[in-house]
Amino acid sequence: MFSSGLHSCLSFFLIFLLALPPVTAVWPAPKNFTKGTSVLYIHQAIQITYNGEPLSYTHGYWPRELTSKEVVQAGVSRTLGGIFDSKFVPWKLHKPGSKFEPDLNQGQTWLSKLEIVQTAEDKPSAFKPLAGEVDESYSLTVSAEGAAKLTAVSSIGILRGLETFSQLFYQHSAGTFWYTPYAPVEVEDAPLFPHRGVLMDTARHFFPVEDILRTIDAMSWNKLNRLHIHVTDSQSWPLVLPSMPEVSEKGAYHPSQTYSPTDIDNIQKYGAARGVEVYFEIDMPGHIGVVALSHPELIVAYNELPYHWWCAQPPCGAFKMNSSEVDAFLEKLFDDLLPRVAPYAAYFHTGGDELNKNDSMLDDGVRSNSSEVLQPLLQKFIDAQHARVRKAGLAPVVWEEIPLEWNVTIGDDTVVQAWLGGESVKKLTEKGLKVIDSNYNYWYLDCGRGQWLNWDNGAAFQLGFPFNDWCNPTKSWRLVYSHDPVAGLTPEQAALVLGGEVAMWSETIDSTNFDTLLWPRASAAGEVLWSGRIDPVTGQNRSQLEAAPRLNEFRERMVLRGVRSSPVQMTFCTQGSPEECEYAP
Amino acid sequence: MFSSGLHSCLSFFLIFLLALPPVTAVWPAPKNFTKGTSVLYIHQAIQITYNGEPLSYTHGYWPRELTSKEVVQAGVSRTLGGIFDSKFVPWKLHKPGSKFEPDLNQGQTWLSKLEIVQTAEDKPSAFKPLAGEVDESYSLTVSAEGAAKLTAVSSIGILRGLETFSQLFYQHSAGTFWYTPYAPVEVEDAPLFPHRGVLMDTARHFFPVEDILRTIDAMSWNKLNRLHIHVTDSQSWPLVLPSMPEVSEKGAYHPSQTYSPTDIDNIQKYGAARGVEVYFEIDMPGHIGVVALSHPELIVAYNELPYHWWCAQPPCGAFKMNSSEVDAFLEKLFDDLLPRVAPYAAYFHTGGDELNKNDSMLDDGVRSNSSEVLQPLLQKFIDAQHARVRKAGLAPVVWEEIPLEWNVTIGDDTVVQAWLGGESVKKLTEKGLKVIDSNYNYWYLDCGRGQWLNWDNGAAFQLGFPFNDWCNPTKSWRLVYSHDPVAGLTPEQAALVLGGEVAMWSETIDSTNFDTLLWPRASAAGEVLWSGRIDPVTGQNRSQLEAAPRLNEFRERMVLRGVRSSPVQMTFCTQGSPEECEYAP
């Protein structure tokens, strides 16, 4: 009887939960979030304090230096700019003709102050943390009477909380009124994974600096915190090296398609001020063919055809595996580059994916494709490069083939980026290795849009038709959202998963379509990484029914702030209840 | 021996052909095109005559009325604007560091004049032709000495020739010099199919007028000539009807998401002046649920759940099939709308796809889902609506289900839009029906990007995973380009195929991603429709190896003219020979 009574009670409770209107505001979902139904208005002269000192909303504020106060001041200004500039009247989230706005004639209760309290001084690593080094948690309260308080251990935690704060507000259609209908609000929040990233590939297609900065902005709105720039590949070398200018002079697609040291510095500082650590990858010893254009003596198999004998995509080209000239080149490269990037990053990625053993058949110093011959050479190569990375104060990152396919021993500090799916993450964590997950079946956002190679008529046509790419289908936000990097792992293994990255390999992506392909799908991964695939309250996987309305809303915010995110659902669905656009079997 | 000698000779000839540099300029491929290697420069004061009368380049010229001379004057101004404004320095089409530009120090031979000759007066139907009513052929010569001549039967043919003309020119990187490296040029050109279209869906997502106008511009660059606007559907009714304002007042997503009569007029005139006929579809008797918001008495099954019992996607809703009220509503609707659209269009589309028989179970006037009961009602319904269309001077268009699934008899003037692939076009043409082809396996450009419905956890999740949509995969430009609407037909059947349309159903497409998904894929279909899938010179299917360099170039032109076309290939491939990015089995 008792059990039955409890069951009834639980059923009632569940029905009650389901009958609630969907939570709209806030993406990614905070750990704990309660809200009310009181309206508070906000104006541009709101009193703001940071640890007791007044702090004013200054439109377009640019941090003068990378200090806690400057970062918070700039974050506050961006947050309020986001509220006041983006003109987000949320009619797309309500049925046509419905009255969803507060009645201005009822008078206004104003949000009079936002009190920001940082409870500890930022550590020196705050703006270039290793995974877990910075505490991103925060708590936020907004009272129905009009007082808001944001508390965090670090200035990065404050930035995360400010983003949540900004998502509570809408513009009134009558004009210059902005309000939240959710007071009182209480939020306790912290990320599940410390590494939440996006991979940009600037080698297949070059991206202007402004695209990268805009992406950093959107990442910060999503509480994503790592931008991994795969800056070179066999196709092009956009990175200017003052010590070896010939590499980009010969290797860039065009003089306009380069990143100067100033560009790199600006990109990293822009990220650091937003809690987005920008780190770089120079993929090697494969995926480096372009170096042959300036240093042909270092490279084997450059642009050999048919490419698939020598590499995964044209043009082929790999470093010679047993060459003192290659070593000298890399010494010079790292001496040039690493001291410049180390002030703003904790990591440097040395690549290591898809190395084709056949390449070394063409290498006079090796003339073999035997693993037994090549493995020790690769071990030595990796050891040498990682020593250079460490000397610069950085932790190395490698692709999963280095430990799993080549059995190369790597240091305890080294992070492995998994991409091949299946058991990769399990195998890596079983070895005690730290992992970031980019499982291509879920988080390769370039996939499923068709071949980028030319297929002639005849046999090739028959083989290629219907010209799907290798990782078909397109990963919809629903598929992206379904992926849990720690599914099937033991707690010990799961603890080694630092997070993940969505990847935007750019064979068929450039400035024109980048935003539409990255967003809102990276947002879906972002919620998995910040909030977890599993809702801690229900213990169940998060449902699309709960997520879709919030993602619809957040997508509108991204578009209005200048990022061309694709739509989540058609307007009929964003305006209705999620059940109206549900597939019910 | 002779045979062997001939074989050698042919082999030599083929090798010679393959060794030629790829033809770059001009998409879609002209019927006959020869070019040389002399350089001609063009300046803004070039002398232009139209049937002997001088005609000046006037930046941004807007045709004052829809007359031949005004249309040509505006076309000339757009064409020269395209050359001079778009700053197309084609470094993306040449190896880095290569010298591909003429040496300015060698002096300039100028293109001194462009003589435009229209050999016949435009017929009254020139700006709203039925398929085949307007002659779009043209011939163009540019002598090495600097005289250009464009001849066509109609002003629309002149517009087509001007587009080809504009694609001969590049900007010099030194600044204010523009040149063609291809003189002398001779072009003889005419389209294979008279109906070359794009379907826009303004009901799942609304598109601002500017998106439609920009699409018309890009279509005209592609020599596409029909914009089919699927203006209403069960999700929303953006079309303002002055005689029944309540329909859009209740049915639009928002007051801002509507097309006024002035908008419709502007869209059609804009198209007509560019040789793009804009015609509208009001889909019925299914796909019309939204009318229930203003006229509930006319509709059955509005927003019934689970939707898949009643229709193909939420919200359901169909006209009652045996209702004098429905008939009166449509009388009023057509009396309002058709006289307004008829001056600029030859067609009106009455829809007719995916009518679900179950709907009529809920219809008090029918209460049956039997084809025997419903077929005569549908025949009567179609007869009545098509009579109204004809009365307005328009030809009806219907989806293929009307004749093929429902066996409804339609008039000789009626065009059938096929979409279900397989044998549809064959079956329709066997019945002697005129067809436009939108085979979803090739030309539905929204496909393959994932489910747009919400799938809850549990059974739905298992069923939906990995959340592919019904028409996966994405149709890459290579797949789009592989489709021949007349493949497998007899010459008699093929003669009934008027052309085709690519479709951009907008469940997951809005302003943000529309351009990137439409282009360059619609360009690929555009070449099939203008030039043919089969190259008349070789008698073989056109190869991606020949097409890719031209499409790469044309895509750059589209981007520089303001349309966010996705890239065709990565820059390494656009800069190299097509063989460097070929898959060779």
pLDDT in tens, B263-279: 999 999 999 999 999 99
Q: Which of B303, B479, B540 sits opposite A467 (nearest CB)?
A: B479
For residues A347 and A475, state if they share a domain: yes
DSSP labels, A178-240: EEEEEEEEEEEE--S-SEEEEEEETTTS---HHHHHHHHHHHHHTT--EEEEEEE-SS---B-
Q: Is B481 part of the contact surface with chain A (CB cutoff 8 Å)?
A: no
Q: Give which of B294, B444, B467 to mutate to test A binding, by max A Cβ within 10 Å.
A: B467
Which band of pLDDT confidence, cut at 50, 70 and 90, is reported for residue B17? very low
Nearest residue on chain B to A449, judged by CA atoms? B474
Contact status, residue B293 vs residue B232, Cβ threshold 8 Å = no
Q: Is residue A14 part of a domain?
A: no
Q: Of the candidates B226, B348, B356, B341, which has an alpha carbon nearest to the alpha carbon of residue B288?
A: B356
Using a CB-CB distance cutoff of 8 angstroms, which residues of chain A are in contact with residue B477?
Answer: 450
Q: Is residue A559 part of a domain?
A: no
Q: Which residues does residue A49 pair with via DSSP β-bridges, in sequence order?
A: A54, A115
Query: If you average pLDDT over residues A304-323, what whole number do you get?
Result: 95
Contact status, residue A192 vs residue A152, Cβ threshold 8 Å = no
Q: What is the pLDDT of residue B487?
A: 97
Cβ distance B464 to A204 less than 8 Å, yes or no, reads no
Q: Is residue B66 part of a domain?
A: no
Strand A53-54 with B226-232, pairing:
unpaired
For residues A93 and A226, state if they share a domain: no
Residues 60-99 of A with CB under 8 A from B: 91-92, 96-97
For residues A314 and A280, state if they share a domain: yes
Q: Of the candidates B270, B268, B291, B292, which has an alpha carbon nearest to the alpha carbon of residue B280?
A: B268
Q: Is B464 part of the contact surface with chain A (CB cutoff 8 Å)?
A: yes
Q: Which of A531, A555, A572 is the last residue of a domain?
A: A531
Q: What is the pLDDT of residue B490?
A: 98
Q: Is residue B305 part of a domain?
A: yes
Number of domains in chain A: 2
C-alpha dihedral sign at B286, B292, B297, B302: positive
Radius of gyration of chain A (CA): 25
Q: Is B22 part of the contact surface with chain A (CB cutoff 8 Å)?
A: no
B501 an active-site residue? no
The two structure tokens encoding residue A301: 């198999």
For residues A322 and A439, state if they share a domain: yes
Which band of pLDDT confidence, cut at 50, 70 and 90, is reported for residue B57? confident
For residues A309 and A365, state if they share a domain: yes
Quote the CA–CA distance of B479 and B211 in Å, as a whole number. 26
> Mind listing the pLDDT tens digit for each residue in B136-166?
999 999 999 999 999 999 999 999 999 999 9
Place of tokens 């969803």: A100
Q: What is the pLDDT of residue A528?
A: 98
Q: Is B236 part of the contact surface with chain A (CB cutoff 8 Å)?
A: yes
Here the CATH number for the domain that contains residue A94 is: 3.30.379.10
DSSP E strands: which ranges in B323-377? Answer: 347-349
Q: Is residue A442 part of a domain?
A: yes
Query: If you average pLDDT over residues A569-577, what whole number do you get?
Result: 96
Centre a 10 Å sphere on the Cβ of residue A262 and count the other Cβ atoms it contains.
10
Cβ distance B571 to A253 less than 8 Å, yes or no, reads yes
Distance from CA of B180 to the nearest CA of A (A): 22
Which position among B354, B405, B507, B546 bears the catalytic label?
B354
Q: Is residue B576 part of a domain?
A: no
Residues 532-571 of B with CB under 8 A from A: 540-541, 543-545, 548, 559, 564-571
Which band of pLDDT confidence, cut at 50, 70 and 90, is reported for residue B25? confident
Distance from CA of A47 to the nearest CA of B (A): 36
Query: If you average pLDDT over residues A36-51, what whole number do you get?
Result: 96
Q: Of the candidates B289, B267, B291, which has an alpha carbon nearest to the alpha carbon of residue B278?
A: B267
- Most distant CA pair in chain A: distance in Å? 84
For residues A246 and A164, state if they share a domain: no
For residues A180 and A199, state if they share a domain: no
- What is the tally of helices (H) and strands (E) in chain B? 18, 18
> Mind listing the pLDDT tens digit for each residue in B182-211?
999 999 999 999 999 999 999 999 999 999
Show the domain range for A438. 195-531
Q: Give which of B202, B258, B303, B453 to mutate to test A binding, by max A Cβ within 10 Å.
A: B453
Q: Of the candidates B511, B583, B471, B9, which has an alpha carbon nearest to the alpha carbon of residue B212?
A: B511
For residues A271 and A163, state if they share a domain: no
Radius of gyration of chain B (CA): 25
Distance from CA of B129 to the nearest CA of A (A): 34
Quote the CA–CA distance of A347 and A225 in Å, as a whole number. 13
Place of tokens 């040509």: B72
Q: What is the pLDDT of residue A22?
A: 43
Distance from CA of B434 to the nearest CA of A (A): 28
Residues 293-322 of A with CB under 8 A from B: 293, 303, 305-306, 308, 314-315
DSSP three-state, residue A157:
helix
For residues A47 and A88, state if they share a domain: yes
pLDDT at B4 over 50: no
Cβ distance B306 to A584 less than 8 Å, yes or no, reads yes
Q: What is the mean pLDDT of chain A?
A: 94
For residues A145 and A251, state if they share a domain: no
Nearest residue on chain A to B441, judged by CA atoms? A466
In order of B70, B215, B276, B345, B503, the CA distances from B64 in angstroms are 7, 21, 17, 19, 32
Q: Which of A512, A531, A550 is the last residue of a domain?
A: A531
Query: If you average pLDDT over residues A331-335, what whole number do you get?
Result: 98
φ/ψ of residue B436, rounded to 5? -115, 140
- The 3-state DSSP composition of chain A as helix, strand, coil percent (nearest 5) reads 40, 20, 45
Distance from CA of B147 to the nearest CA of A (A): 34
Q: Is B448 part of the contact surface with chain A (CB cutoff 8 Å)?
A: yes
Quote the CA–CA distance of B361 and B370 in Å, as a whole number. 9
Q: Is residue B23 part of a domain?
A: no
Cβ distance B236 to A507 less than 8 Å, yes or no, reads no
> CA angle at residue B277 from B275 to B282, to 5 degrees?
170
> Mind listing the pLDDT tens digit for each residue in A198-222?
999 999 999 999 999 999 999 999 9
Nearest residue on chain B to A469, judged by CA atoms? B476
Q: What is the pLDDT of residue B404?
A: 98
For residues A169 and A204, state if they share a domain: no
Centre a 10 Å sphere on the Cβ of residue B113 and count the other Cβ atoms it contains.
13
C-alpha dihedral sign at B54, B55, B57, B59: positive
Q: Is residue B419 part of a domain?
A: yes
Q: Which of B466, B545, B572 sits opposite A315 (nearest CB)?
A: B572
> Mind listing the pLDDT tens digit for each residue in A5-14?
334 433 333 3
Query: If you average pLDDT over residues B305-319, what whole number do you get?
Result: 95
In order of A84, A197, A518, A555, A557, the CA distances from A561 in angstroms are 11, 20, 15, 10, 6
Q: What is the mean pLDDT of chain B?
A: 94
Contact status, residue B283 vs residue B317, Cβ threshold 8 Å = no
For residues A119 and A205, state if they share a domain: no
Query: If you average pLDDT over residues A158-181, what whole number do you get?
Result: 96
**Percent of all residues in chain A with a pLDDT value above 70, rounded to a whole number:** 96
Here the CATH number for the domain that contains residue B206 is: 3.20.20.80
Residues 351-390 of A with CB under 8 A from B: none
> Mind listing the pLDDT tens digit for each residue in B79-126?
999 999 999 999 999 999 999 999 999 999 999 999 999 999 999 999
